[in-house]
Amino acid sequence: MNIVPICEKDFHQFWPEFEAIIQAQETYAYEPHMTYLEAYTLWCEVPQVCFVAKEGETILGSYFLKANGMGPSSHICNCGYMVSSNARGKGVARALCEHSQEMGRSLGYTAMQFNAVVSTNTVAVTLWQKLGFAIVGTIPNAYKHGKLGYVNTYVMHKVL
């Protein structure tokens, strides 16, 4: 697996996976029917950096990293991760998260924060906890899950 800066061709290839993830409405607080260009802007252009995990020409997943706040809170970064459906359970999310922590440190951030981890996404919650993130907040009914209705979200945090 190689983790390299994303290019538009990569995102184009990844777009069906991205679209399936947001349309499921189980993990991301994104507009489920956003356009390709809106998604590209949000995932690849607004963030400070964006990477893609590849095996040969196959896209395994992607993550972005950006500052979570401005000015007095600009020492904390924020990331989002997505893994392709046929690449799950193979350590891709862990590899992306570990890469992002190294990247965050090298960009001068001293902590990483996830603002809205869907509480029912136990695979993610458990993995982030294994990687040293703590649940530091619980927002009641903050996410309208595609199958389960309103569920809580967690704020998770780790010192880098």
- Residues within the interface to a second copy (CB under 8 A): 22, 25, 28-32, 69-76, 111, 113, 115-116, 136-146, 153, 155, 157, 159
The DSSP annotation for the chain comes to: -EEEE--HHHHHHHHHHHHHHHHHTSS--S-TT--HHHHHIIIIISSSEEEEEEETTEEEEEEEEEESSSGGGTTEEEEEEEE-GGGTTSSHHHHHHHHHHHHHHHTT-SEEEEEEEETT-HHHHHHHHHTT-EEEEEEEEEEEETTTEEEEEEEEEEE-
CB of 104 to a second copy, least distance (A): 15
- Residue 137 beta carbon to a second copy: minimum distance, rounded to whole angstroms: 2
Minimum distance, C-beta of residue 34 to a second copy, in the bound complex (Å): 8
Measured from the CB atom, the residue of 62 and 121 that comes closer to a second copy is 121
Least Å distance, CB 116 to a second copy, is 6
Between 1 and 19, whose beta carbon lies closer to a second copy?
A: 19
Nearer to a second copy, 9 or 147 (CB): 147
Judge contact between 15 and 8, C-beta under 8 A: no
Nearest distance in Å: CB 88, a second copy: 21
Measured from the CB atom, the residue of 53 and 154 that comes closer to a second copy is 154
71 vs 89, beta carbon nearer a second copy: 71
